[in-house]
Structure formats: structure tokens, C-alpha cells
């Protein structure tokens, strides 16, 4: 099948950038991204392309090139579904907060709603692509809904998980390690796989496009995120041991990373991983393992989450202990709120939970992040429902300048590895702070020797 029209349901962190790159690389294909959130679609269509709702280096340029030519953002979901030959489902799959599997299982209600809407609208054969991260065998449920509630048309379900790292999403899309496509082993299934392969082949080399059965594809995404998160928790576990023994975790990581069997990536000790994927996907993996009675497997992966939560608590506890066992009415400057650099995504950011701990200790939090608004900072804290929004507002203030955020502060916590933090005039920052002045480097990006020569009392992870 020659593909000329693609629809993507969901204009979020996956759907928006992915479809923008497909549109740029496939000018012969009309790509329509739909979402019921009118405010989000309006932002994607903003005349000033710098105001699109997702910040990723290079993304605004790609959107500017393709938008209005063959890339469209719309709230008209039914029209886009009706016209498309391939429909990507890229909606949120949060962890369930209710019922069976609460706190672990993926909540698939939005996936099911999409499937029922596609089934109701479609009048001709469609290829439906799972782009959201889903539990293994979700395609079976989608297929059942489509076949039993539709208009008698034929559907092929493909799994095409994303392997994007926020902050480098555009680079990852333009030069992927691999494109994974899983589908049915039938003749029709293989034809559907080839149709999607042909789309990616417009810019991705053939040897980087991997095809599998649909179950292997679904499970591969969860497995990849679990392995990456495991490495972070592993090096963070070693960071605590380093602090007790006098070893330096950065030196240990460098030493083991030179082993070709291990490699250097994801071995940077930090205050813990965040983002929308790692914790959610591991909890989902734990739930799946338990549902099959694989309790030892579940316990193994659950420990990755336990270690990550411990690292965040350990960091906030260390701050309190170092600041003479009280932070009440002390100003603590947070440099960074996003869960990592080069993104405005704050989901599961360590900064949220560390701020929560310190507010419980009556600290005053001053936040500076170059891409996160004050409204978002407060919304993240309110979402925890730990205290009233009025209390959060009274204890947390955002600043547009790092120097203002740090002025008269007792301590600074570096919680996002933004490159700009390294280049600051740290002497100026030190001169404006309360003395003694502390730096808690939760991302190990600052020069300890230089800071201590100024007069800072430096506390880094694992050093």
C-alpha cells in the first residue's frame, strides 16, 4: 500500500516530534496530528514557532518547515481518522491510580477510547500503530475492540515503540539506533509492516529497521527502559558506598565504563532518574511479572524503583543534616526543575520530591529553570496533594534569573544538568548568599575545586 495520509492521535511529547520529523522527511505524505486539547493544538499552530508546547533542540525549525505544507495540527479527530491510511495512537498511558493494579499497572482507558473511536469512524481498511508505551499483548485487546465494534473493515495492528530521549528527541528521530516494528505474521500483517517500513525508509537505513512479532516489539520497549533505569539505580547505589568509603563515584564510573562489556553510558551518579517513562514502565513490568506469578522477577525490577526513591530522600536528608539539622525559614535555591536538560518536561522530576521534603521542613524554595514556568512548578507540587496550594505558593517562588534565585540563599541545589549552570559567575553568586554558603550538586556537573576555592562548602553525589 502506498501511504499518502497519516493521522496521529495525541499531540504530546511523542506524537508531536515524531510526526513533525515524518512530515519533514516525507513531503509526499500528509501528516495530521490531532488532540482534543484545544490549548495544546493552538500552541502547535502558534504563528511564533518558538511558542510550540514542547521544547526540544531543533524541533521548532522542523515544525516551521513542514507546518502548513504537509504537517497539520487539528482538533478535528474524526476527519483525520476517516482520511488516514495509517493511524498512530500516541496518547498517555499513566500508572493506574484506582482499582486492580493501582500504583503499578498501566491505565489503558485512553488507548481503549482511541480504539473505539477508530472503530466507529473507519469506513475503509486501516493500519493502527501503537506508538504509546504499552503492556505486552495490548495489541490483542485493541484488535478485539476494532474487529467487534467497527463497521466490518479490516484492521492491522502494529507496534512501533518510540525510543526517544527527551532533550535529544530530534537527533534520535533523525538518526535512530533502530526503528522497531512488530506485527502479525499473516500475509496481511506482513504487508502492513512493509507499509510502515516504507515510510521510515525515506530517511532511515534498511539495516536499522527491525521487524518482529507484535509481542516482542511491545515488550522490547519496557525492557529497554528497565535496563537503562537499572544502570542509573546501580551507579546511584554505588555513590552512597563511595561517600562512606572515600572513593569517588565519578572515578569509579569512568573506570568501569572503559570496560567494553559495560560501556560509559547511563553511569552518571545523580539525585535520581525522572521523566514520564522509567518509573511508569518499570512499575508496569513489575505488575506484568506478578500477574504471571513471577514474583522473583517482579522483586528484582521493583528494587530499581526503591533505590531511585531512596536516592531522592537521601539527597534531601543530606541537605537538612548539613544545614545544621534545620532548614526552617532558610532559603534554598533550586537550579533546575525539569527532569533533565534540554527539555521543559517535569514529569517525575527529582526536584519535585526534594522540594516537597524541604517544604515539610519549613524551607523557603527559590526556583530557577530556563524552560519551566512558575505556574508549572506550583502545579507539580499541587499534584502531589501533600498540602494546600496556598501553602505551596507561600513556600515556593520562581525567578527569571539564577542570580535572583540565589540571592540571600543559605544553599543551592543543582537538580537539572543545564549547560548554562557551569558558565555562571559563581563568585558573584557566592557574594550574594548567606554564609556559610553550600552547594549540593545533585547532577555532578560543577567544578568542586573551583567552588571550594571561592568559599563554597561543596556536597556532590558520591564524592
Q: What Rg, from alpha-carbon coordinates, does the chain have?
A: 24
Beta partners for residue 196, in sequence order = none
Res. 106: pLDDT tops 90: no
| Cβ-contact 59, 15 below 8 angstroms | no
pTM metric for this prediction: 0.90
Q: What is the pLDDT of residue 276?
A: 84
Tens of pLDDT, residues 47-100: 999 999 999 999 999 999 999 999 999 999 999 999 999 999 999 888 888 998
C-beta of residue 142 within 8 angstroms of C-beta of residue 130: yes
What average pLDDT score do residues 137-164 get?
A: 87
For the segment 153-161, the average pLDDT, to the nearest whole number, is 93
Residues forming a β-bridge with 412:
333, 439
Mean predicted confidence (pLDDT) in 239-263: 96
- Report pLDDT digits (tens) over 389-441: 999 999 999 999 999 999 999 999 999 999 999 999 999 999 999 999 999 99
Burial 287-308 (b: 16+ CB within 10 A, else e): bbbbeeeeeeebeebbebbebb
**In this model, does residue 141 exceed pLDDT 90?**
no
Active site residues per annotation: 162, 221, 277
Is residue 151 pLDDT above 90, yes or no? no
Question: What average pLDDT is seen over the chain?
Answer: 95
Residues 280, 347: Cα–Cα separation, whole Å: 11
Asked if residue 137 has pLDDT above 80, the reply is: no
Q: Output the CA–CA distances (angstroms, integers) from residue 268 to 42, 99, 111, 346, 400, in the order listed.
A: 38, 37, 35, 20, 28
Q: What is the pLDDT of residues 307-353, one digit of tens each?
A: 999 999 999 999 999 999 999 999 999 999 999 999 999 999 999 99
pLDDT at 149: 78
pLDDT for 145 beyond 90: no
pLDDT of residue 438: 98
Amino acid 133: pLDDT: 75
Query: What are the strands of the beta sheet with 126-130, ordered from one edge?
Result: 71-74, 30-34, 5-9, 86-89, 126-130, 155-159, 179-183, 209-213
At residue 191, the pLDDT reads 96
Amino acid at each position: 500500500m502506498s501511504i499518502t495520509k497519516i493521522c496521529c492521535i495525541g499531540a504530546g511529547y511523542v506524537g508531536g516530534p515524531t510526526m513533525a520529523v515524518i512530515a519533514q522527511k516525507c513531503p509526499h505524505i500528509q501528516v495530521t496530528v490531532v488532540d482534543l486539547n484545544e490549548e495544546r493544538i493552538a500552541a502547535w499552530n502558534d504563528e511564533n514557532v518558538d511558542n510550540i508546547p514542547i521544547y526540544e533542540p531543533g524541533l521548532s525549525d522542523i515544525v516551521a518547515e513542514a507546518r502548513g505544507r504537509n504537517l497539520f495540527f487539528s482538533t478535528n479527530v474524526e476527519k483525520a481518522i476517516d482520511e488516514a491510511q495509517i493511524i498512530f495512537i500516541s496518547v498517555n498511558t499513566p500508572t493506574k491510580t484506582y482499582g486492580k493494579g493501582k500504583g503499578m499497572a498501566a491505565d489503558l482507558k485512553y488507548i481503549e477510547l482511541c480504539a473505539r473511536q477508530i472503530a466507529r469512524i473507519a469506513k475503509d481498511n486501516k493500519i493502527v500503530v501503537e506508538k504509546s508505551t504499552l503492556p505486552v499483548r495490548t495489541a490483542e485487546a485493541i484488535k478485539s475492540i476494532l474487529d467487534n465494534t467497527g463497521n466490518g473493515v479490516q484492521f492491522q495492528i502494529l507496534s512501533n515503540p518510540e525510543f526517544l530521549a527527551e532533550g535529544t528527541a530530534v537527533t534520535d528521530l533523525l538518526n535512530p539506533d533502530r526503528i522497531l516494528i512488530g506485527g502479525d505474521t499473516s500475509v496481511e500483517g506482513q504487508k502492513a509492516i512493509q507499509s510502515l517500513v516504507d515510510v521510515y525508509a525515506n530517511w532511515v537505513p534498511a539495516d536499522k529497521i527491525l521487524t518482529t512479532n507484535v509481542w516482542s516489539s511491545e515488550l522490547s520497549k519496557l525492557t529497554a527502559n528497565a535496563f537503562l533505569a537499572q544502570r542509573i539505580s546501580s551507579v546511584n547505589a554505588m555513590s552512597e558506598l563511595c561517600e562512606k568509603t572515600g572513593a569517588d563515584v565519578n572515578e569509579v564510573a569512568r573506570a568501569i565504563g572503559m570496560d567494553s562489556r559495560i560501556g560509559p553510558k547511563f553511569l552518571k551518579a545523580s539525585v535520581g532518574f525522572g521523566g514520564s517513562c522509567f518509573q511508569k514502565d518499570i512499575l508496569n513490568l513489575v505488575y506484568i511479572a506478578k500477574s504471571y506469578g513471577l514474583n522473583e522477577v517482579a522483586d528484582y525490577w521493583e528494587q530499581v524503583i526503591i533505590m531511585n526513591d531512596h536516592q531522592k530522600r537521601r539527597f534531601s536528608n543530606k541537605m537538612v543534616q548539613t544545614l545544621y539539622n534545620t532548614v526552617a525559614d532558610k532559603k534554598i535555591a533550586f537550579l533546575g526543575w525539569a527532569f533533565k536538560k534540554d527539555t521543559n518536561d517535569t514529569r517525575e522530576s527529582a526536584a519535585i520530591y526534594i522540594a516537597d521534603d524541604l517544604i515539610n521542613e519549613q524551607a523557603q524554595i527559590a526556583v530557577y529553570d530556563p524552560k519551566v514556568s512558575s505556574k508549572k512548578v506550583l502545579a507539580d507540587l499541587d499534584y502531589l496533594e501533600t498540602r494546600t496550594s496556598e501553602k505551596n505558593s507561600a513556600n515556593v517562588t520562581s525567578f527569571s534569573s539564577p542570580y535572583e534565585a540565589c540571592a540571600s540563599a543559605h544553599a543551592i541545589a543543582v537538580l537539572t544538568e543545564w549547560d548554562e549552570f557551569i558558565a555562571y559567575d559563581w563568585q558573584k553568586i557566592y557574594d550574594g548568599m548567606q554564609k556559610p554558603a553550600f552547594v549540593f550538586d545533585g547532577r555532578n556537573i560543577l567544578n568542586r575545586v573551583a567552588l571550594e576555592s571561592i568559599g563554597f562548602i561543596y556536597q556532590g553525589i558520591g564524592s
